[in-house]
Every structure is written in structure tokens, then in C-alpha cells.
Structure 1
Amino acid sequence: MTPSPIVEAGQRGGPGQTDPYRLGRRSSASLIALFLAIALGALSTLVGLPYVVMKPGPITNTLGQLSGKDLITVSGAQTYPTEGALDFTTVRVSGGPGFRVTIWDVLKGKLDPSEEVVDEELYFPKGVTDKQVEEESTAEMIDSQQEAIAVALKATGQKVTTHTVIGQVAKDAPSAALLKAGDEVLAVDGKTVDGPDSIRKAVSAHKAGETVDLKLQRDGSTVDVAAKTRDSDGRVTVGIFLGTKFEFPFDVKIDAGNVGGPSAGTMFALGVYDRLTPGALTGGKKIAGTGTIDAAGTVGPIGGIRQKLVGARDGGAKFFLAPAQNCDEVVGHVPDGLTVVRISTFDEARSSVEAIAAGKASSLPTCTK
């Protein structure tokens, strides 16, 4: 008779068979590890990180329509048909006050060459709320549109009257109760002023704590205010932020939808100019660009230039107008198929578009020459 195999005490099954107890312990460990991985993954999507992820946004033709309506409308003056595109570019910003990004957003932003991850405080002031960000962005867009219209009208020979107004009064200004947003500043210490710089110069001539006499236009009436000055980081001020109000000979409106910020100013100015002048400024070509603009026609730098380049290329543009002050960020990051033209003023932007329309883009300045 063949003897039975020896079975050790406590062991179930014969030689070569799997121990079900040990299998159970390994399975439990795997399940616990899987559960922890799932829990950590879920937690990582909930914990916000203090970063901002910048991504390419859509482009919009200033000569076209938005939500079924012309983006630029003119009343009281002749306009002309046109073609082609003068696209303003945008950046999608993930994160910021009230909208913090997750670790997955940051990892994707680090791996995707078209995206950029920056510290939140480099993009948004510390302590600012999402409502304040939205209000400031909207105000910047409104100012940008007004300055763009002023530049375009002056370029067509129209008369534009400029008024310097109080844009905002600081809550802790010494004479906050006497000043009002919207007041037009006519004179300082009895001397007529002709812009923000002359006002600042007149105020800074005082010592902190002295009073400065302001003549203001408020609701159709003249108001005299003795405003007390104060020291602000080594400068003498009265605690007001100055703005510009324009008086146009006819009505021009720009509706950019829910886009905010000042960076579309140059493309708005080109779009308004094209609408008010005969012929197609672009020659039918698709041209994108960016850049702030002031009433003097100076093109200023913007943020997110690399993302805007990608957005322009993805949107079908072949040419891109870039502020000269952004050139250091452009070099080495121009998408294939896109020609970038360097501009510093509205006149340069307009002449560049005209050259592109005439097939002479190769003669235009770039960020590398």
C-alpha cells in the first residue's frame, strides 16, 4: 500500500498546491494598495495648487461677427465692405482666485509645450478675489476699446477730443469724500492741465500733507476741491487713479463678448480703421496679432504671447503681429507655418498689414532681425 503524503500541521492540501490563506493575504494587500491609489487620485483632483496654467485660446476676427452680430459697428459715418481677417488672440487661464488647479493640471501644463505653468502670485496680486479680477479685466477691456477707437479715428483724419478724468478714488485717500470717480480734471492750482502727466507733475510739486486745488467738471457743473496730499511710496499723491475719456464725432462700438483684458487693443484699432476706409486692408489674407494700445498709438507688451502664437496657428492664421517688447519671448517659439512681424506703433501695424496684403511680408521686421 502506498503511504499518504506527509501533511504538515496546519497545512491544507498536498505538495505543490497553493495555500489559499496566503493567497488571501496577497489579495488583501493589493486591494488596499488599489484603494489608496484611487483615494489619492481622487484627493489630487480636489486639492487646489497655487499655480496658474496658461493655454492657447481661440482667435476672433474683428472684421467678422460674434453671436450673429458684427463685432464692430459704426453709426453716423460711412463704412466700407472688407474681407480677410484681423484676428485678436486669447489665452485660456486655469487657476487663480476661486479657481485653483489640481496636480494633474500642473503636470499636463509642464508636459505640453504649448502650455505654461506659473506661480499664481506672479499673475494675480496676493489677496485679490475672483470678483475683483473680473471687474479689473472688464474695465481694462473697455479702456482698450476706447483707446483703439480713438487711434483708428485719428488715423482716418477725424477729430477726437480727450478728457482726463478720475477713474477711481482710493478708499483711504485723505479727501476721498470730496472726490468722485468720473470727475474731469480741468486745472490744478489754477493752471489748466492737458493730460495725466501734467496733473501728476503739478501734484508732486507739493509736500505730503499740503493741499492742492483741483478744478473739476462734475455732472455738468464746475467744482473746486482742496484735496489733501499724502506720501505714497515716496511719491506725493491725492489718492486718485486717472483715466481718459474720449469724445468721438460719431458712434463706434466694439463687442468682444466675454473676453477681458487690454491685449486686443491693436487689433481692434486695425479693425475699426479697416471698416472706415475703402478697400480690404488685409487684401483678403488672414492676419492675427496682439498688443495693448494707448491713445498715442503706442503698442505695448502682453502676457501669454507663446500661447497666442499657437492659438493663431491653430486658428488658421499665416501672419502674426507681435509687440516688439515681447520679442524675447517669441524667439524660438514660433510655430511652423506662422510668420511673426514685430510692431511698436499703430502706424507700423497698419503698414505691416498693407505689406502683407501686397505680398511683401518678407521685407517686414521680425523678432530675429
Structure 2
Amino acid sequence: MLLVVVVVGVGTVVRVPFVALGPGPTYDTLGAVDGTPVVAVEGTPTFPTAGHLNMTTVAVSDGVTALSALGFWLAPDRRLVPRDTVYPPGQTTEQVDEQNTAQFAASETNAELAAMAELALPTRATVAEIVSGSAAEGALREGDTIVSVRGVPVATPDQVAAALNGTAPGDPVNVVYERAGARAEARIVLGPSPDGGRGMLGVRPGVEPATGDITISLGDVGGPSAGLMFALAVVDKLTPGELNGGRFVAGTGTIDAAGTVGPIGGIPFKMLAARDAGATVFLVPDANCTEAAANAPDELQLVRVPTLDSAVASLEALNAGAPVPSCGP
């Protein structure tokens, strides 16, 4: 009895160098979380939506003890992986969380860019965030529209970056911006970039429709893998009809400004989470199709999506009863 007590006591205290992965929460990008719309569009006409377009996540359990590791190992919907695959050596948990937050912010911008390119909407560059301590602090504010940089008109984050080509830290540049309907000009001394290249303006540029605003809000969720579902929600809200045909559609995938859908990790867990939430269709990045097909839960239709345009086309095909690209045989 004493031996059992000692073994159990040690097993509940001693940590092992693993984390447990499993299905995480899913969020309807057409809905709201804690009363706040996940994707809100203001200042431009929108259309009613129905059904679901759920993004999916992977739950990560850290601080795994020897005894809990045994429980995770026996659980059919959990997997133990070395901790350093999630939290690289030399990086603190806080640093990894900061990186995930930055990736999430970038995915929001890319989702908006991709959606507006899909819909052929004109855009404007905005100040999404100001770097603390930069020269832009005090000159620009979050929400400002960036009209031009160094005399070059800009309408996207890429154009803001391109306008700084050939500059160096310490160079002064003129930035024309709009705030509350009024246009003004600021002279900003560029700061150093992390890679030692061109000068940095000290802001994270965002993008919005030429008229109106899009806001993506989802609490503490991090990482880039919700980009596809955010972009689809924007497309659905800005176009007539129900993109999902009223279905419960879930999915995952990174997205770049051109609308290319990239691979993600943990897709077996994301499919389980989607199925358990009620999804009947799951959108799979092209590069994840083999893994998805090998782990697909019953009654979940997998749709292969290499791009945002193909995702929109596949959902429209489902609504018409037409065949769609599949990850299955």
C-alpha cells in the first residue's frame, strides 16, 4: 500500500517532457463569441447568412505529469508529442504565445486581402498597430488610412512595404494619412528592421475595403490556421445568398494575400472537433488531404481546397448538387 501511495504521489507531481494534443473548440466565423461578432462588417452593404462556417483548433495540454501522460496515451482522441515540437527550446511559453498572436493578426489581414481580391473590391491601407517606441508613435494612430508613403500612393500592406524599398534606418519619409475624414502629412524617421535591411515605418499595416471596415475578433485564439474560414466569412457577408447553402461547414487552412490556402498541423483533431460540433462538410488544405483522408471521421465530407477561389466554387457546387474535389478515393 505504501508503495502504491508513493508511485501515485510521484506520478501526479513529476512532469514529463511531453504535451498532449486533442480536439479544441470550434468557432462559427459567421456568429459571435461572448456577444461580439467574429467577423463584423460596417460601412458597406452586407447580406444575411445562415448555417455555419466554423474554424477549428487543436487543444494543447502542457504541464503533463507521468500519471496524466498515461491517461492521455490511453485516450483515443489524444496524442502525446515531445514538448519541444510545440515550445521550441530556448523560447519561453510567453514568447511562443506572442508569435502565435502575431501570426493570428497576419492571418486576419491576409484573409481580408484575399476576400477583397476574390470579390474584386478596392482597398485602402490602414494602421493596424503601432510599434511601441517607434517614430510613428505620436504621429500616426491605429485606424488611420495610409494614403501615400514617400509620395507613392498605397492601398495594401504590400504596397506600403514596397514604398520603403531603398530606404535605410534614420531616413526621414513623408506619410500622407487620413483621420476622421481629414487628410494630413507626417514626417517620420525610419527605425531599424529586425533583419538589418530597409528602414521600418514602425506600424503594422492593415487593409480595409475602400468604403467600410472589417473587424475580426476572436479572444485568445492564436496561430494562422483560421485564415481560410475568416476569408470565407467575409465573402459570405459581402455577397447575396448563403455561401454554405445553410449547411454546417467547418474547415482549416492558412491563407496568403493572393488567396492560396496553406497546410496546417493537427488536422485529425480538428476534424474530430468539427464532427462533434455538428459539421457535415470539412474544407481541407490541398497539402493536408492525404493525412485527412486517412483519419476522416465517419459522416464528414472532405473537400479539397487549394485556394480561396476553389473553396467558394466548391461550396457553390455543393449548393447546386454538383461534384466537388475530394480528399477521399
TM-score range, shorter chain: 0.7 to 0.9
Task: String of CA shifts for 1:284-314, please: whole Å, max 9, x gaps.
Answer: 1111000111221111111211100111111
Kept after mapping to 1: 8 A contact 2:169/2:198: no
Instruction: Work out the CA distance in 2 between the residues paired with 1:226 and 1:70.
Output: 36
Is it true that 1:131 corresponds to 2:98 in the alignment? no
Task: String of CA shifts for 1:239-277, please: whole Å, max 9, x gaps.
Answer: 999954224321222222332222111111111211111
Kept after mapping to 2: 8 A contact 1:284/1:357: no
Kept after mapping to 2: 8 A contact 1:283/1:358: no
Note the C-alpha offset of 1:150. Answer: 2.7
Q: Percent identity?
A: 37
Kept after mapping to 1: 8 A contact 2:190/2:200: no
Instruction: Work out the CA distance in 2 between the residues paired with 1:60 and 1:165.
Output: 23
Given candidates 218, 235, 245, the residue that maps to 2:206 is 245
Residue number in structure 2 paired with 1:255: 217
Kept after mapping to 2: 8 A contact 1:214/1:225: yes
Note the C-alpha offset of 1:60. Answer: 1.8
Counterparts in 2 of 1:112 and 1:253: CA distance versus 1, 3 Å: same
Note the C-alpha offset of 1:358. Answer: 2.3
Is it true that 1:326 corresponds to 2:296 in the alignment? no
Counterparts in 2 of 1:177 and 1:310: CA distance versus 1, 3 Å: closer
Structure 1: segments with no counterpart, 5+ residues: 1-33, 170-175, 204-209
Instruction: Work out the CA distance in 1 between the residues paired with 2:83 and 2:174.
Output: 40
Instruction: Work out the CA distance in 1 between the residues paired with 2:291 and 2:204.
Output: 30
Task: String of CA shifts for 1:53-93, please: whole Å, max 9, x gaps.
Answer: 11001222112232234332222122211211111111111
Kept after mapping to 1: 8 A contact 2:130/2:136: no
Given candidates 290, 293, 310, the residue that maps to 2:255 is 293
Residue number in structure 2 paired with 1:30: none
Kept after mapping to 2: 8 A contact 1:141/1:261: yes
Residue number in structure 1 paired with 2:80: 117
Task: String of CA shifts for 1:153-181, please: whole Å, max 9, x gaps.
Answer: 33333211347999879xxxxxx98898x
Give the TM-score normalised by the residue count of structure 2.
0.79
After alignment, is 321-330 or 156-165 more displaced? 156-165
Give the partner amino acid of 2:26: I
User: Could you say what secondary structure the match of 2:225 adopts?
Assistant: coil
Instruction: Work out the CA distance in 2 between the residues paired with 1:133 and 1:304.
Output: 17
Give the partner amino acid of 1:85: H
Note the C-alpha offset of 1:113. Answer: 3.7
> Please, what is the CA RMSD of the aligned residues?
3.6
Given candidates 334, 350, 353, the residue that maps to 2:312 is 350
Counterparts in 2 of 1:202 and 1:121: CA distance versus 1, 3 Å: farther
Kept after mapping to 1: 8 A contact 2:112/2:208: no
Is it true that 1:160 corresponds to 2:120 in the alignment? no
Structure with larger Rg: 1
Counterparts in 2 of 1:240 and 1:335: CA distance versus 1, 3 Å: farther
Residue number in structure 2 paired with 1:86: 53
* Count of equivalent residues: 313
Task: String of CA shifts for 1:178-224, please: whole Å, max 9, x gaps.
Answer: 898x998946xx99995588589868xxxxxx989674649965557
Instruction: Work out the CA distance in 1 between the residues paired with 2:20 and 2:260.
Output: 29
After alignment, is 149-158 or 237-246 more displaced? 237-246
Kept after mapping to 1: 8 A contact 2:87/2:93: no
Kept after mapping to 2: 8 A contact 1:214/1:227: no
Note the 1:218-297 alignment, pairs <5 A. Answer: 221=185, 223=187, 244-248=205-209, 249-297=211-259
Kept after mapping to 2: 8 A contact 1:164/1:196: no
Given candidates 23, 34, 50, the residue that maps to 2:17 is 50
Instruction: Work out the CA distance in 2 between the residues paired with 1:284 and 1:278.
Output: 13
Instruction: Work out the CA distance in 2 between the residues paired with 1:242 and 1:325.
Output: 33
Residue number in structure 2 paired with 1:141: 104
Residue number in structure 1 paired with 2:298: 336
Give the partner amino acid of 1:81: P
Counterparts in 2 of 1:228 and 1:114: CA distance versus 1, 3 Å: closer
Counterparts in 2 of 1:141 and 1:116: CA distance versus 1, 3 Å: same
Give the partner amino acid of 2:321: G
Counterparts in 2 of 1:226 and 1:119: CA distance versus 1, 3 Å: same
Kept after mapping to 1: 8 A contact 2:176/2:185: yes
